[in-house]
Amino acid sequence: MAKIERPEAKELIRLAQAQLNAFRLIADSEPTQSDSVRACANNLYNAKLKASLEAMEVEHLSRGRQGIRVSLLRDKGYTNMYQVSNLSFSQICAIDGLGEQSAQKIMDITRQVVENTKENLKVRINPDCPAAEDEALVKALYVFLKNKPLRSRASGILESNENEALAEINALKKAQNGLSWLFASKAKKQAAQGASQSLSARLSSDFGNSEITSTFTANNNANASACFADFIQNPVSYYTELERISTAFQKGSLEDTGLSSQLLAEIQAHNLNLQGLRATLRSYQEFGVKYIVHQGKTLLGDEMGLGKTMQAIASMIALRNEGKHHFMVVCPASVLINWCREISKFSDFEVTKVHGEDEEALLHWRKNGGVAVTTYESVSRFDLPEKFKFAFLVADEAHYVKNPETRRTKALVSLLQKAEGALFMSGTPLENKVEEMCFLVSLLNKEISREIEEVKYISTAEQFRAQLAPVYLRRTREDVLKELPELTEKEQWCEMNASESLAYRKAVDSENFMAIRQVSWNVDDLSQSSKAQRLLELCDKAKEENRKVIVFSFFRETLKKVQALLNERAMEVITGEVSPQRRQEIVDEFTKAEAGSVLISQVQAGGTGLNIQSASVIIFCEPQIKPSIENQAISRAYRMGQVRDVLVYRLLSDETIDERMLEILRNKQVAFDNFADKSVVGEEALELEESSKTQASWIKEMVKAEKERLSKV
């Protein structure tokens, strides 16, 4: 038998050993890269904390009027609270004029200031003007995330090859010894020859794949611009991993749920199997899924932009993995396509769209399971067998069924009786009357419904909240998104010229409220519209800052004028006439468009169901009637995944009905804020959704008042 050549064997051993070492390095890289993320996160956190404390002058110590002689600290060069926070008790005592009692006061106040600052500190990655700490953290996260699939592949290759490769390497090493080879038995020589052939074949398979190691190296050496580009495209992935790894970026939301400690512990202990979910949940979302699955029938009232859809999909996945089957989503027609797309994108469910009287689609779902997605209008036409049961019903925008007398409500109630579990979803359920809220709860939990019926008029907010907690969960963006950028709202007051004033007077004389609201936009020549000119300036500025813009108006005529004004930089206008599928396509095109692009939308059509985080400037052409309308529109961009500060501009004409509209909006928002951001209901705070009769009354009075005002000018 021919002897194995030493150079050949030596090279095989070298290559195989190098691959083993490389795969081990990649497979075992998670702790090191995780530590790097944690260290960089702490550095960024400490830098932000330092900057906040440095911004507080040392005079902060004297706010409590405890007789501290701050001037003595300033004379020694201690001018801000960061410097003071680094002083020891003995160092303070060493300052002339400050005794032990004063030193202790300074230490106590400083400690409290630092704790308060930490509590309110908003730490996020700044993609616009990144500091060294921002760049280091994004790079560490990039490396960690990009190498995650490589770690998995390397581990799999090692598991399949390591032991065999080591045995083959050892056999070849023995074969390199000339004396041993000379006196080796025929069987050993055949084994060595086989090891050589086997190792050569192994190196020609995945085990010899150099792409994994070269990609790993390239990821580790990526430059800052590549890392930030990926971060801006995938911010949710970055912050999800950051929240999981670093305590500096964790923000608890469980203490404010109103749940008893025992129930809270039970929910937290609930084990979730999310195999089949193509997304990683944030910690608050994971808690939401546990809550939904554990409690069986619930109302999720998370503020818009926090991923209620994702929590619903994950809940269905978790139930499917517990052996459940057949799920149904009922939603407004405007978001039907969006639901189908989201489920297909983020899960391995089979999705069946059931719209109108599509009996064939409904039958397909009954036979095959998965998720049926349908509308409130369609469920009233469903003909399901009396004994047919299914696992879980999701009702999006559940306030659509607040009136027990409507046909769609009765149809949904009938459907609910066939479902083992249910999730009602609504971002603003507390805008309804307390009776309507109680009705929604009664559909989900009769016992809790009876309890809150007895105390709804006399209970305090906290009492009511505690009793609702087992069925109703609400979190706000501020509760859970520590990284959310700033939201700045600016009023843009425009002074009318002669043409605008004349058109406005004509509108007021007509007593047509809708015409009056179109102040400044109801001129024939947009060069004579102060609002149009200001909008153009804001869009030009946004382009200079590499931002994208959303323009909202209630009026289609105004939107047409805005599109003509902006010309090529404007996308196709989204109105109520545009199909939900086309709306999503326009948003997708806008996402891919260059900086400076403008999305123009009717506020009702674009204010729900669309995610437009690629925009960071929002312009309202006129004030809206209800704060919820504007809040929903703002939430299209100001939501999880937004990495840039969001600027909201309201175009307003001086000395017009805009002033009164703005005042009404503010008053309504204050009333809503008193209760809506807590999981509670109070009769006096839920008068926001007026009847059409009440609304018509104050509109009529406002128009009358404006007409009288102008008659005196």
Exposed (0-12), middle (13-18) or buried (19+): which is 692, by Cβ within 10 Å?
Answer: exposed
* pLDDT at res. 674: 46
> pLDDT tens for residues 578-595?
888 898 899 999 999 999
Among candidates 149, 184, 144, which has minimal Cα distance to 4?
A: 184
Rounded to 5°, angle at Cα 123 from 121 and 125: 165
Q: Which of 210-224, 259-273, 597-611 is predicted least confidently?
A: 597-611
Longest dimension (CA), the chain: 120
User: Percentage of the chain with pLDDT > 70?
Assistant: 87
Q: How confident is the model at residue 22 (pLDDT cuts 50, 70, 90)?
A: very high
Helix (H) or strand (E) holding 539: helix 530-544
CB within 8 A of 330, min separation 6: which ones? 374, 375, 376, 379, 393, 394, 395, 396, 412, 415
DSSP letter string, 656-668 = SHHHHHHHHHHHH
For 395-421, give one letter per residue: b (16+ CB within 10 A) or e. Answer: bbbbbbbbeeeeebbebbeebbebbeb
**Taken in order 372, 373, 374, 379, is the CA torsion positive or negative?**
positive
- 466: tokens are 């505690």
* pLDDT at res. 676: 42
* pLDDT at res. 188: 58
Contact criterion met (CB below 8 Å) for 246 and 37: yes
Task: Give yes or no on whether 252-480 and 487-711 have one common fold.
Answer: yes
* pLDDT at res. 6: 47
The amino acid at residue 327 is F
Q: Find which of 36-45, 656-665, 680-689 is predicted with most confidence, using mean pLDDT.
A: 36-45
33 to each of 27, 139, 237, 309, how far by Cα in Å?
A: 11, 11, 16, 31
* pLDDT at res. 303: 78
Does the pLDDT value for residue 683 go beyond 50? no
CB within 8 A of 495, min separation 6: which ones? 530, 653, 654
DSSP 8-state symbol, 620: E
* pLDDT at res. 659: 87
* pLDDT at res. 291: 95
**Mean pLDDT confidence for 533-538:** 92
User: Percentage of the chain with pLDDT > 90?
Assistant: 44
> pLDDT tens for residues 479-504?
777 777 778 888 888 889 999 999 99
* pLDDT at res. 111: 92
- Pairing between strand 419-425 and 472-473? unpaired
> pLDDT tens for residues 159-212?
999 898 888 888 777 766 554 544 455 555 566 677 788 888 888 888 888 899
> pLDDT tens for residues 591-641?
999 999 999 999 988 666 677 888 999 999 999 888 878 888 888 888 877
Exposed (0-12), middle (13-18) or buried (19+): which is 111, by Cβ within 10 Å?
Answer: exposed
Q: What is the CATH number of domain 487-711?
A: 3.40.50.300
Does the pLDDT value for residue 430 go beyond 50? no
Q: How confident is the model at residue 536 (pLDDT cuts 50, 70, 90)?
A: very high
Please state, in angstroms and rounded to a whole number, the distance separating the CA atoms of residues 395 and 424. Answer: 5
* pLDDT at res. 441: 87
Contact criterion met (CB below 8 Å) for 258 and 448: no
Rounded to 5°, angle at Cα 623 from 622 and 627: 145
CB within 8 A of 620, min separation 6: which ones? 552, 553, 603, 630, 633, 648, 649, 650, 651
Residue 601 has φ and ψ, to the nearest 5°, of -145, 145
Contact criterion met (CB below 8 Å) for 648 and 490: yes
Does the pLDDT value for residue 688 go beyond 80? no
Residues facing 375 on adjacent strands: 331
294 to each of 259, 264, 265, 484, 625, how far by Cα in Å?
A: 13, 11, 11, 29, 39
Please state, in angstroms and rounded to a whole number, the distance separating the CA atoms of residues 316 and 349. Answer: 9
Spacing of C-alpha 677 from chain mean position: 17
Judged by phi (left if over 0) then psi (alpha if -120 to 50, else beta), residue 544 lies in: alpha
Helix (H, G, I), strand (E, B) or coil at 680: coil
Residues facing 214 on adjacent strands: none
**Top-confidence residue, 122 or 444:** 444
DSSP letter string, 494-532 = E---HHHHHHHHHHHHHT-HHHHHTTTTSSS-GGG-HHH
**Mean pLDDT confidence for 634-657:** 86
Sequence length of the chain is 713
Q: How confident is the model at residue 551 (pLDDT cuts 50, 70, 90)?
A: very high
Please state, in angstroms and rounded to a whole number, the distance separating the CA atoms of residues 17 and 434. Answer: 71
Domain range annotation of the chain? 6-36+129-237, 45-120, 252-480, 487-711
* pLDDT at res. 670: 62
Task: Give the alpha-carbon dihedral of 193, 197, 199, 203, to 10 degrees.
Answer: 160
Please state, in angstroms and rounded to a whole number, the distance separating the CA atoms of residues 498 and 302. Answer: 47
**Mean pLDDT confidence for 557-567:** 94
Q: How confident is the model at residue 46 (pLDDT cuts 50, 70, 90)?
A: very high
Please state, in angstroms and rounded to a whole number, the distance separating the CA atoms of residues 458 and 681. Answer: 11
Helix (H, G, I), strand (E, B) or coil at 4: coil
CATH architecture of the domain with range 252-480: 3-Layer(aba) Sandwich (3.40)
DSSP 8-state symbol, 59: G
Q: Which of 264-273, 351-360, 502-511 is predicted least confidently?
A: 351-360
**Taken in order 171, 174, 176, 179, is the CA torsion positive or negative?**
negative
**Top-confidence residue, 639 or 104:** 104
Exposed (0-12), middle (13-18) or buried (19+): which is 492, by Cβ within 10 Å?
Answer: middle
Task: Give residue for tokens 């931002």.
Answer: 547
Q: How confident is the model at residue 259 (pLDDT cuts 50, 70, 90)?
A: confident
* pLDDT at res. 609: 63
Task: Give residue for tokens 């999006």.
Answer: 396
* pLDDT at res. 422: 96
- List, edge to edge, every strand of the sheet that includes 371-375: 351-354, 371-375, 327-331, 390-395, 419-425, 297-300, 472-473
> pLDDT tens for residues 344-403?
989 999 999 998 777 899 999 999 999 999 999 998 888 888 889 999 999 998 888 878
Average predicted confidence (pLDDT) for the chain: 85
Among candidates 464, 402, 463, 442, which has minimal Cα distance to 297?
A: 442
Contact criterion met (CB below 8 Å) for 529 and 496: no
Does the pLDDT value for residue 282 go beyond 80? yes
Among candidates 462, 467, 470, 426, which has minimal Cα distance to 444?
A: 470
Residues facing 599 on adjacent strands: 550
Superfamily per CATH, domain 45-120: 5' to 3' exonuclease, C-terminal subdomain (1.10.150.20)
Helix (H) or strand (E) holding 552: strand 549-553
Among candidates 404, 362, 412, 361, which has minimal Cα distance to 385?
A: 362
End-to-end CA distance of the chain: 114
* pLDDT at res. 36: 96
Q: Which of 108-122, 146-160, 471-485, 545-559 is predicted least confidently?
A: 471-485
